[in-house]
Amino acid sequence: MHLSLCSLDCCEGLSNVDYSQVARWEYRTRSLTRLFRSPYLACYCLGAVIVFLNFLRSHCFTEAMKSQPKLKALDSLLVHYTSVALMSVGIVFVTSSFLALGFIGTFLGDYFGILMEAKVTSFPFNVLDNPMYWGSTTIYLGWSVMHASPAGLILTAVVALCYTIALRYEGPFTEEIYRQKAAKSK
């Protein structure tokens, strides 16, 4: 099977986008805040770009799956229902994360100096660390299984790997932002 990761003819380089690097650059320079004359407007604009690129990634993901052969072992009614359950769980995690964090909290507002009063510990954060990332990964897994797509399963693993790598940097950086906030308030 020939697998064109992220359907390169459609979305070449999309998998290399690292939003946290843009946000770290903003945290250090406040360049977007100055450009947009508001940390809120800058964060909303970055969030809109992230949403657009995520839609594009999902489109490329789907196109890559459609252009590859199906795995007959995954092409059954039971597997279909399992995929719907996986996607439903992922949607619950992503949606509830967004509702708990809000747009600014979801789209790196803390890197723009817009800090939450306290760390969110309610559902889904009391069930799973980083539920937005793992919910998204679960949606891709369910989508891949629904389409009986080995290419989709490989791409889901790539998404999970990218999130794992991003979290190694994003988590400690965000913790440091809030540690500095706590130190200033004392």
| Binding annotation for S-adenosyl-L-methionine | 88-90, 170-171
As a whole number of angstroms, the distance between CA 45 and CA 23 comes to: 12
Q: Which of 67, 72, 128, 70 is nearest to 96 (CA)?
A: 128
110 contacts 137 by C-beta, under 8 angstroms: no
CA torsion sign for 93, 94, 96, 97 is positive
Burial of 121 (0-12, 13-18, 19+ CB in 10 A): exposed
Question: How far, in Å, are 97, 114, 154, 185 from residue 108 at the CA level?
Answer: 13, 9, 28, 21
Mark the binding-site residues, compressed into ranges: 88-90, 170-171
Dihedral over alpha carbons 98, 52, 115, 130 (to 10 degrees): 50
- Using the structure block, give the residue that is written with the tokens 């309610």: 122
The token pair that represents 19 in the structure block? 């939003």
